[in-house]
Amino acid sequence: MPVHPIEERYGTSEMRAVWSEQNRFSCIIAAEVALAQAEAVHGMIPQAAADVIVKHARHASLARAKEIENEINHDMMAIVRSMSEACGDAGRWIHYGATSNDILDTATGLQLKQALNLIDEKLRMLLSVLLDRAAETKTLVCVGRTHGQHGVPTTYGLRFAIWASEVGRHTERLEQLRPRVVVGQMTGAVGTQAALGKKGMEVQATMMEFLGLVPVDVSNQVIARDRYAEYFMFLGNVATTLDKIGIELRTLQRTEIGEVEEAFGAKQVGSSTMPHKRNPIKSEQVCGLARIVRSAIEPALCNNTLWDERDLTNSSCERVLFPESSILTDHCIRLMTGVVRGLVINRAAIRRNLLLLQGINMAESVMIELTKKGMNRQDAHERVRVASMQALAEQRSLADILATDPEIIRFCSKQELEQLLAPDSYIGTSVHQVERVIEKLSPLCR
């Protein structure tokens, strides 16, 4: 029976597979095989033995390794013995010169390589969807809000482009962290490679070539966990971007605002008691799970503060952190991609909200124009501010209030004021900014 929601509720099958017990076992086998191959290349074990290990080691079974572990209470040695049984006499060379974490951490490197490939693919899919929505809405003028209050206009295209730009930076970060995170080691008991002799560094380099991993420059018994901490901080950063998008979409779906709406199925139920409800449950799910992903950062950082050449406090912690954070992040990217792709945009509500304040949110436009025409900027700000407060209090249009100020009319006629208060003409370079982002980031999409 499932215990954790990532076993059946959250996550994609492909990311679950990366962190499955079977794949972990396969990655450990792959690391041991690569070690034997590298040692044969450098004359440390017989080539014939390495050939047998390459051919038969993968016949070792997880079930048999578990049986052995129940007897000896050591997971790594249980796998080594199960492999040795599968390889006959050649099995005596398996794990030669290695300590457990040479293999276990290298196996983690293989899993991280797989996980990052999946995350990279999904980030680029999300980026593509965001750019499509940005192009579609680049001229859709809407209310800009600061502090939750109406500000000058913006466009939906600019919003989507800002999110796309952030996701684009995540793809850059992913590529930058690969060589620091997708790594392996073969350094022995405390990092000196003493068991491998003078060829230790060559064996490590060759082993990692076989596996497609970057070899560490130096380590003790374990790969330094600052590398893994960077991975978890990356996941937290990605999850926070998704959280940010989700919060904005949830806000814009409020009944009083109603500018966007998550796609709602014909038979979908919004509430067990309120039949009318159409809740943004997918965005809410992303926002909630982002908290779990971010919570991994603190223990991941603590895992780098081990005693001396190592202790075991990181091990149990990482058994939880790696699958949970990776699976949830992958799940949230996929979920938000679907939300953005299917997002319903209510243009009538957008227009209604844009005109709600009868021009008051366009006060900056008037202040700027008055300054251009010769009024002191500070005086213009104060006059327009006072007029705006009066318009708000009396629920009148700003144009009417401004027209009663002879000093303002001296610089701008009422007709000019009405033009200045038209929101569609005050979106600056937003369309060009969106087009620039699309041009820049489109090559990254898949």
DSSP string covering 284-318: HHHHHHHHHHHHTHHHHHHTT--STT--SHHHHHH
Question: What are the structural domain ranges in the chain?
Answer: 5-16+112-184+221-263+275-351, 360-420
Domain 5-16+112-184+221-263+275-351 in CATH 1.10.101.10? The answer is: no
Q: Determine the pLDDT at residue 21.
A: 95
Is 397 assigned a catalytic role?
Answer: no
Q: Determine the pLDDT at residue 446.
A: 67
Q: Is the pLDDT of residue 264 over 80?
A: no
Mean pLDDT across 210-236: 96
Q: How far is residue 130 from each of residues 11, 12, 89, measured CA to CA in Å?
A: 22, 21, 58
In terms of DSSP bridges, do strands 149-155 and 141-146 run parallel, antiparallel, or are they unpaired?
antiparallel
Q: Determine the pLDDT at residue 254.
A: 95
Q: Determine the pLDDT at residue 7.
A: 83
Q: Determine the pLDDT at residue 8.
A: 83
Strands, E, within 276-398: which ranges? Answer: 344-345
Q: Determine the pLDDT at residue 280.
A: 87
**342: three-class secondary structure by DSSP:** helix
Q: What is the pTM for the complete model shown?
A: 0.94
DSSP 211-277: HT-EEPS--SSS--THHHHHHHHHHHHHHHHHHHHHHHHHHHTSTTT-SEE----TT----SS-TT-
Is 147 assigned a catalytic role?
Answer: yes
Mean pLDDT across 347-353: 97
Q: Is the pLDDT of residue 274 over 90?
A: no
Q: Do you know the residue count of the chain?
A: 446
β-partners of residue 296 are none
- List phi, psi (to 5°) of 207: -60, -45
In terms of DSSP bridges, do strands 260-261 and 183-184 run parallel, antiparallel, or are they unpaired?
unpaired
| CB count in 10 Å sphere of residue 73 | 9
Contact between 382 and 367 (Cβ < 8 Å): no
Q: Give dist(CA 90, CA 67) in Å, integer.
A: 22
Q: Determine the pLDDT at residue 263.
A: 81
User: Which tens digits make up the pLDDT trace of 179-204?
Assistant: 999 999 999 999 999 999 999 999 99
Q: Determine the pLDDT at residue 309.
A: 87
Q: Is the pLDDT of residue 218 over 80?
A: yes
Q: Determine the pLDDT at residue 138.
A: 97
Contact between 223 and 185 (Cβ < 8 Å): yes
28 pLDDT tier (thresholds 50, 70, 90)? very high
Q: Is the pLDDT of residue 269 over 90?
A: no
Mean pLDDT across 206-210: 98
Q: Is the pLDDT of residue 3 over 90?
A: no
Q: Determine the pLDDT at residue 139.
A: 97
Mean pLDDT across 300-313: 91
Residue that the structure tokens 């090559």 belong to: 443
Mean pLDDT across 31-52: 97
Q: Determine the pLDDT at residue 276.
A: 72
**412: three-class secondary structure by DSSP:** coil
436 pLDDT tier (thresholds 50, 70, 90)? very high
Closest-CA residue to 427 (of 333, 370, 362, 349): 362
| CB count in 10 Å sphere of residue 137 | 21
5 pLDDT tier (thresholds 50, 70, 90)? confident
User: Which tens digits make up the pLDDT trace of 79-137?
Assistant: 999 999 999 999 999 999 999 999 999 999 999 999 999 999 999 999 999 999 999 99
| CA R_g for the chain | 30
Stronger pLDDT, 241 or 7, i.e. the higher one? 241
Share of the chain above pLDDT 90, in %: 89
Stronger pLDDT, 271 or 253, i.e. the higher one? 253
The mean of the pLDDT values for the chain is 94
Q: Which of 59, 74, 271, 432 is catalytic?
A: 271
Q: Determine the pLDDT at residue 272.
A: 63
Q: Is the pLDDT of residue 174 over 90?
A: yes
Q: Is the pLDDT of residue 2 over 90?
A: no
Mean pLDDT across 407-431: 93
Stronger pLDDT, 423 or 1, i.e. the higher one? 423
Mean pLDDT across 215-228: 95
273 pLDDT tier (thresholds 50, 70, 90)? low
